[in-house]
């Protein structure tokens, strides 16, 4: 017996075998069981998600000799005939090859005749958007009022190209792209039935490459089985697809956690030697950072992570949430600008170095020695940047002075070691009270989102170091318009900007240009000169 492709062998034969389209299956099943079927259905969605498969199952449900229901027997001549493509009353049309109006009229000439052997005559028109305008016009009248023994099932990947007059005459169902998890689980089930050995990470890689299409994933799996000689391993899949083995993703994310640029560069050179798909690797980095962010926001999601679980759990503890958000944004921009770089390798390297360079100082200790090593990759002695002498800054004010004069808060936060989100948090707070080494800060409600646990802890640590005492911070969210250092800065900037615009308007040269040439100052173009 000749070999049958997996995509054909494992095509669903009833609604219970369809995966990932429960919203469509439920509607069709209810319509069949309640005898409320429409005369025209439109199935839309990307390739390989089950449009024609659902249409064939629906035709089987309508013509099963056991009666119309959502559960066809699968054994009668009608069911077997539809499964094998030999049922005379299921007329399948490829609109891409029959676009002319003559083809459509020839098709419609037979609509009036009763079914030959089935209960309904079913017209399945695939890629219906390829029909010409005249063909649609010829179809409209029949589509609106077909004989009672006729059903139209239309399928398309591009519903925007269908005339609104056609859309209004059909019940439309939009099929979703399948999730990677759904595809990989189906592949796992299939391989178990086929008794073929596999690795789960390999199936996940296939699911990602399929991009939401179950049919594409089965075609890739067929190729993978042949390529790997019946052992679908992670290494074989990455070699076949030209994608990056997961071990490199783990190495680079670990190096990012350690701020180890030297290890990063080593990995990128090895990836270049493997002729890796750097665009796909950017997607891998973005996906892992997304999982880390979700796990930090909702810790219970750690239990649901099936792939890359080890590295995600490690990064959850290694990165502050603001670090993850920064890295995610840098990775997105790096992928967007990938093709602007001289080489994909250099694009990845610059993106990773950017992550290290812009990573804010945090409560998670950074390995400064490794950063210095990264700066001096040529093994030349590195120059240690001058460090801030915190003992200059300590005890300039006592906690008692802060209690007596809350106005020193704006000056205070400029003299303590704050960066990034923690500085922004302090700038948007005002002191409410100081009592028994407890400092209560008012925070404007609109800035509540920046009050992460990491930012609050860093602010508290910096204040402890500055005052040299064991103080604690409490935050009170306020709806009032508070006077904060940030608000004061904005007010000063606005005043400076206003003065700059006024000076520009009164400038003699500007006045002359206006008078002689009708010149105008473009709004927003004036910038104050900074000292």
CATH for 85: 3.40.50.300
Number of H helices and E strands in the chain, helices first, is 25, 10
389 is a domain residue: no
Q: Are residues 219 and 361 in the same domain?
A: no
Tell me how far apart the alpha carbons of residues 188 and 67 are, in angstroms, rounded to a whole number: 34
Type and span of the H or E element at 505: helix 485-506
User: pLDDT value at position 188?
Assistant: 92
Same domain (yes/no): 120, 79: yes
Q: What is the pLDDT of residue 28?
A: 94
CA angle 401, 403, 404 (to 5 degrees): 65
CATH number assigned to the domain comprising residue 340: 1.20.272.10
* 356/446 same-domain check: no
CA distances from 164 to 115, 133, 137 (A): 30, 12, 12
CA separation for the pair 299, 523 (Å, rounded)? 48
The count of structural domains within the chain is 5
Q: Point out the domain boundary residue: 345, 375, 405.
A: 375
User: What is the predicted pLDDT for the residue at 306?
Assistant: 67
Q: 255 and 225: one domain?
A: no
Is residue 312 within 8 Å of residue 305, measured between CB atoms? yes
What SS3 string covers 418-435? CCHHHHHHHHCEEEEEEE
CB 225 within 8 A of CB 62: no
Q: Is residue 336 part of a domain?
A: yes
DSSP tag of 340: G
Q: Which residues are registered as beta bridge partners of 154? A: 42, 125
How far, in Å, CA of 526 to CA of 500, rounded?
A: 7
Domain that holds residue 211: 180-241
| 291/302 Cα distance (integer angstroms) | 9
Angle between helix axes 200-210 and 180-194 (nearest 10 degrees) is 130
In the predicted model, residues of the chain with pLDDT beneath 70 are 1-2, 306-307, 361-391, 393-398, 404, 530-531
Instruction: Indicate if 168 and 65 belong to the same structural domain.
Output: yes
Q: Shortest CA distance to 325 belongs to which of 363, 270, 286?
A: 286
Q: What is the pLDDT of residue 138?
A: 83
Residues 121 and 27 in one domain: yes
Of 470, 471, 490, residue with least CA distance to 428: 490
pTM exceeds 0.75, yes or no: no
Residue 226 belongs to a domain: yes
479 lies in the same domain as 491: no
69/23 same-domain check: yes
Phi, psi of 351 (to 5 degrees): -65, -45
- pLDDT recorded at residue 310: 79
CATH number of the domain to which 432 belongs = 3.30.300.150
Looking at the structure, tell me whether residues 86 and 199 fall in a common domain.
Answer: no
Residue where one domain finishes, among candidates 174, 195, 216? 174
CA distance 136 to 410: 71
41 DSSP β-pair partners: 153, 171
In this structure, what is the dihedral angle of CA atoms 376, 377, 379, 381, given to the nearest 10 degrees?
A: 0
H or E, element range at 440: strand 438-444
Domain identity same for 11 and 159: yes
- Specify the length of the chain in residues: 531
**DSSP H stretches of helix in 298-419:** 309-318, 321-336, 344-358, 368-375, 390-393, 399-404, 409-414
> What pLDDT was estimated at residue 238?
82
Tell me whether residue 289 is in a domain: yes
Quickly tell me which residue has 């075998």 as its tokens: 17
Cβ neighbours around 106 below 10 Å, total:
11
Contacts of 261 (CB under 8 A, 6+ apart): 255, 352, 353, 356, 370, 371, 373, 374, 377
Identify whether 21 is part of a domain: yes
Query: CA-CA distance, 229 to 240, in Å (whole number)?
Result: 12
Closest to 249 in 3D by CA, of 306, 312, 172, 293: 312
**How far, in Å, CA of 296 to CA of 324, rounded?**
10
The CATH number assigned to the domain holding 227 equals 1.10.8.60
Question: Are 473 and 492 in a shared domain?
Answer: no
Q: Is residue 390 part of a domain?
A: no
Identify the pLDDT of residue 175. Answer: 93
Residue 140 lies inside a defined structural domain of this protein = yes
C-alpha torsion sign, points 363, 366, 368, 374: negative
Q: Which among 191, 214, 241 is the end of a domain?
A: 241
221: in domain: yes
In 51-179, alpha helices (H): 51-63, 77-84, 101-108, 133-144, 164-167
Report residue 435: phi and psi, to 5°: -155, 130
**Contact at 8 Å (CB) between 519 and 513?**
yes
Q: Do 47 and 170 share a domain, yes or no?
A: yes
* pLDDT score, position 389: 40
């Amino acid at each position: 017996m000749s070999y049958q492709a997996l995509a054909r062998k494992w095509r669903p034969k009833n609604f219970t075998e369809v995966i990932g389209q429960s919203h469509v299956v439920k509607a069709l099943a209810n319509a069949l069981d309640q005898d409320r079927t429409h005369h025209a259905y439109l199935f839309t969605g990307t390739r390989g998600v089950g449009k024609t498969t659902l249409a064939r199952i629906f035709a089987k449900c309508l013509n099963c000799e056991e009666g119309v229901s959502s559960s066809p027997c699968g054994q009668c001549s009608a069911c077997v005939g539809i499964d094998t493509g030999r049922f005379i009353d299921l007329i399948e049309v490829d609109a891409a090859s029959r676009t002319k109006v003559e083809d459509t009229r020839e098709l419609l000439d037979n609509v009036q005749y009763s079914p030959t052997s089935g209960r309904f005559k079913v017209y399945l028109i695939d890629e219906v958007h390829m029909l010409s305008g005249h063909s649609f016009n010829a179809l409209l009248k029949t589509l609106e009022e077909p004989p009672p023994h006729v059903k139209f099932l239309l399928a398309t990947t591009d519903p925007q190209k269908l005339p609104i007059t056609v859309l209004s005459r059909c019940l439309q169902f939009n099929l979703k792209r399948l999730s990677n998890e759904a595809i990989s689980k189906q592949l796992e089930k299939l391989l178990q039935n086929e008794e073929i050995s596999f690795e789960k990470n390999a199936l996940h890689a296939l699911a990602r490459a399929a991009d939401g299409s179950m049919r594409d994933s089965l075609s890739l799996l067929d190729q993978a089985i042949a390529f790997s000689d019946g052992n679908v391993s992670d290494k074989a899949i990455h070699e076949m697809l030209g994608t990056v083995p997961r071990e490199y993703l783990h190495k680079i994310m670990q190096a990012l956690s350690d701020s180890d640029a030297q290890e990063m560069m080593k990995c990128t050179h090895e990836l270049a030697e493997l002729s890796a798909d750097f665009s796909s690797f950017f997607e891998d980095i973005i996906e892992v950072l997304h999982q880390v962010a979700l796990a930090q926001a909702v810790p219970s999601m750690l239990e649901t992570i099936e792939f890359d679980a080890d590295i995600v759990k490690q990064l959850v503890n290694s990165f502050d949430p603001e670090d993850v958000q920064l890295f995610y944004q840098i990775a997105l921009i790096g992928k967007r600008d990938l093709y602007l770089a001289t080489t994909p390798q250099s694009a990845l390297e610059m993106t990773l170095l950017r992550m290290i360079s812009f990573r804010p100082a945090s409560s998670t200790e950074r390995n400064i020695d490794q950063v210095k090593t990264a700066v001096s990759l040529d093994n030349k002695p590195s120059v240690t940047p001058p460090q801030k002498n915190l003992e200059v800054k300590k005890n300039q004010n006592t906690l008692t002075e802060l209690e007596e004069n809350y106005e020193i808060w704006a000056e205070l936060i400029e003299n303590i070691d704050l960066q990034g989100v923690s500085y922004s948090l302090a700038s948007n707070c005002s002191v409410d009270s100081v009592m028994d080494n407890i400092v209560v800060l008012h925070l404007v409600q609109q800035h509540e989102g920046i009050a992460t646990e990491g930012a609050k802890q860093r602010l508290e640590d910096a204040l402890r170091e500055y005052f040299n005492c064991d103080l604690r911070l409490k935050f009170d969210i306020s709806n009032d318009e508070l006077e904060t250092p940030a608000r004061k800065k904005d007010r000063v900037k606005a005043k400076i900007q206003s003065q700059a615009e006024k000076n520009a308007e009164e400038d003699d040269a500007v006045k002359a240009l206006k008078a002689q040439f009708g010149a105008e100052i473009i709004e927003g173009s004036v910038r104050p000169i900074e000292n």
